[in-house]
Structure 1
Amino acid sequence: MSGKVCSSNSVVQARRTVEQLRVEASMERIKISTAAAQLVQYCQEHSRSDPLLTGISASSNPFKDKKTCVLL
């Protein structure tokens, strides 16, 4: 009985795998050069609002220490 259950589970898993592969194969793909160009354009358009490039002002930084540390 357990052999049939195991076999049934592997058939179900194989069907799921085949279905996933069909979905992935039917996806429309774009060329890497096109995607890279779009990514560069997006980065350039949004560079003014990027905190990694412009920094975070001290007044709006939520991670700024509230008190200073004093060493004795």
Structure 2
Amino acid sequence: MKLAGGMDAAGVASEGEEEKPWKCCDLTICARSFPPTCRCADVVKQCADGCKSCMGVPFGHICNDWYTGDPAQGATNGN
């Protein structure tokens, strides 16, 4: 299923966009730019394989990669 911004339902880039370093995100931090530049501040047990800058924090890890494009779908929506 295609979503806005050329992304598919799994959060994987399509049609020439780069792949996001995360599959879904509840706490997205975006710069005010067009297209937006975003990172995901969700604390997870383990960063996704696509994450280049995985940072250890209390209670888990945060992927500190920035992505240019539409942010991912929320994780707690069942997406």
Could you state the TM-score of these two structures normalised by the residue count of structure 2?
0.16
Higher helix share: 1
Pick the structure with more strand per residue. Answer: 2
If you compute each CA radius of gyration, which structure gives the higher value, 1 or 2? 1
Work out which structure has the larger RCO, using CA pairs closer than 8 Å and 6 or more positions apart in sequence.
2
TM-score, normalised by the number of residues in structure 1: 0.17
